[in-house]
A = this chain, B = another copy of it.
Amino acid sequence: MIIIIKKGTPAEEITRISQELQENWQIKPEVVVGRHHTIIGAIGDTATIDPSIFQEISPWIERVLRVEKPFKRASREYYHGQASEVIVSTPNGEVSFGEHHPVVVIAGPCAVENEEMIVRTAKRVKAAGAKFLRGGAYKPRTSPYAFQGHGESALEMLWQARQATGLGIVTEVMDTVDIEPVAEVADILQIGARNMQNFNLLKKVGLQSKPVLLKRGMAATMNDWLMAAEYILASGNPNVILCERGIRTFDCQYTRNTLDLAAIPVLRSLTHLPIAIDPSHGTGVAAFVPTMAKASLVAGADALVIEVHPNPAQALSDGPQSLTPEQFDDLSREMALLNQVINDRVQPVPALI
Contact = CB atoms under 8 A, between A and B. Distances in A.
Most-contacted residue by chain B among A218, A260, A287, A298 (CB, 10 A): A298
Contacts of A195: 197-198
A295 interface: yes
Oligomer copy total: 4
A288 interface: yes
A265 B247 contact: no
B174 A177 contact: no
Nearest to A257: B262
A285 to B, nearest CB: 8
Given A145-B234, A176-B175, A254-B222, A265 B288 contact: yes
13 contacts: A141-B199, A144-B235, A194-B198, A217-B219, A219-B219, A222-B254, A223-B253, A249-B249, A262-B282, A292-B299, A294-B298, A295-B298, A338-B338
A261 interface: yes
Given A298-B338, A299-B291, A262 B264 contact: no
A87 interface: no
Interface residues of A, number: 75
Contacts of A337: 341
A252 interface: yes
A307 interface: no
Interface stretch (A78-86, A116-124, A154-162, A224-232): A224-232
A301 B145 CA distance: 29
A110 to B, nearest CB: 15
A266 interface: yes
In the A-B complex, the 8 residue pairs with the smallest Cβ-Cβ separation, listed nearest first, are: A219-B219, A194-B197, A175-B200, A295-B299, A295-B295, A265-B288, A219-B248, A144-B234
A230 B198 CA distance: 20
Interface in A265-294: 265-266, 269-270, 282-283, 287-288, 290-292, 294
A166 interface: no
B287 A349 contact: yes
Most buried by B among A144, A203, A260, A295: A144
Contacts of A230: 143-144
Contacts of A262: 255, 258-259, 282-283, 288, 291-292
Contact of A294 (B222, B223, B299): B299
Given A221-B250, A250-B252, A298-B295, A288 B259 contact: no
Contacts of A270: 254
